């Protein structure tokens, strides 16, 4: 749009300069957030802490709420402990994934490559940038004081459709997962990065008198 007066031209130039400044600032902020996302996956070796989890059906009704503890040692090892409402443990020892349901007195074991290769939790066990598995897009929102990214798998998963990660200056603090049935799972993480985590957390031996389904590698 052409402007004839000096005052109008000056205003236009100043506005243009501000817009350029804002655009560069937004790009820098995006780059910084993306670098923090990558750093979380490449520079964090261990983490431990607590989590809360809520599951919503496709109509938005909350159908489950759980709390527990999480331990992680990259690559490939984690312990996910549900304390409430039903006690359950999921342990990845680097080769196998063990699922121990205390109420059912049952243990299921599967090779790690097939048990979580396409599961959202698998992203936390790998020490590599998310781009290796996902198309990563920075979302133009800042909710809960977090920067948000949308991740869609390069290879279609039968279990989940996509996920969103919210991170602060220290790393990922929130995960929102959308499955193929329209359900949404929200996980809030309250964890310490690079904390001292005992290797015993990732060792599992089935208790006596429980049913074991599957065979470990």
List, in order, residues 6 or more apart from 44 with CB less than 8 Å away.
74, 171, 193, 194
The pLDDT confidence band at residue 120, using thresholds 50, 70 and 90, is low
Fold for the domain defined by 6-213: outer membrane lipoprotein receptor (LolB), chain A (2.50.20)
Mean pLDDT of 60-79: 94
CA dist 201 and 25 (Å) reads: 43
pTM for this prediction: 0.80
pLDDT at 188: 96
The pLDDT confidence band at residue 133, using thresholds 50, 70 and 90, is confident
pLDDT at 217: 87
Q: Would you call 186 helix, strand, or coil by DSSP? A: strand
pLDDT digits (tens, 9 = 90+) for 14-35: 333 333 333 333 334 456 899 9
Give me the helices (H) in 107-150, please.
Answer: 112-115, 122-125
CA torsion through residues 172, 189, 185, 139, sign: negative
Identify the CA nearest to 76 among candidates 132, 153, 128.
128
CA dist 158 and 24 (Å) reads: 39
pLDDT at 8: 31
Q: What are the extents of the domains in the chain?
A: 6-213
Quote the longest CA-to-CA distance of the chain: 89
Structure tokens at 103: 């109420």
Mean pLDDT of 26-45: 79
């Amino acid at each position: 749009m052409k402007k004839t007066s000096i005052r109008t031209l000056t205003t236009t130039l100043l506005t243009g300069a501000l817009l350029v400044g804002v655009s560069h600032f937004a790009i820098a902020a995006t780059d910084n957030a993306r670098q923090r996302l990558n750093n979380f996956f490449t520079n964090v070796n261990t983490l431990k802490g607590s989590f809360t989890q809520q599951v919503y059906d496709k109509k938005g009704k909350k159908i489950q709420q759980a709390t527990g503890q999480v331990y992680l040692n990259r690559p490939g090892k984690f312990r996910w402990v549900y304390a409430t409402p039903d006690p359950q443990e999921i342990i990845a020892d680097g080769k196998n994934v063990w699922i121990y349901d205390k109420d059912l007195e049952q243990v299921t074991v599967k090779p790690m490559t097939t048990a979580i290769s396409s599961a959202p939790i698998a992203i936390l066990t790998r020490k590599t940038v998310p781009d290796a598995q996902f198309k990563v897009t920075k979302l133009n929102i800042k909710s809960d004081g977090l920067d948000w990214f949308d991740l869609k798998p390069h290879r279609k998963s039968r279990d989940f459709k996509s996920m969103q990660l919210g991170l602060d200056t220290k790393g990922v603090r929130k995960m929102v997962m959308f499955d193929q049935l329209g359900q949404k799972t929200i996980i809030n993480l309250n964890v310490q990065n690079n904390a001292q985590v005992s290797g015993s957390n990732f060792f599992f031996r089935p208790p006596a008198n429980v049913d074991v389904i599957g065979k470990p590698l």
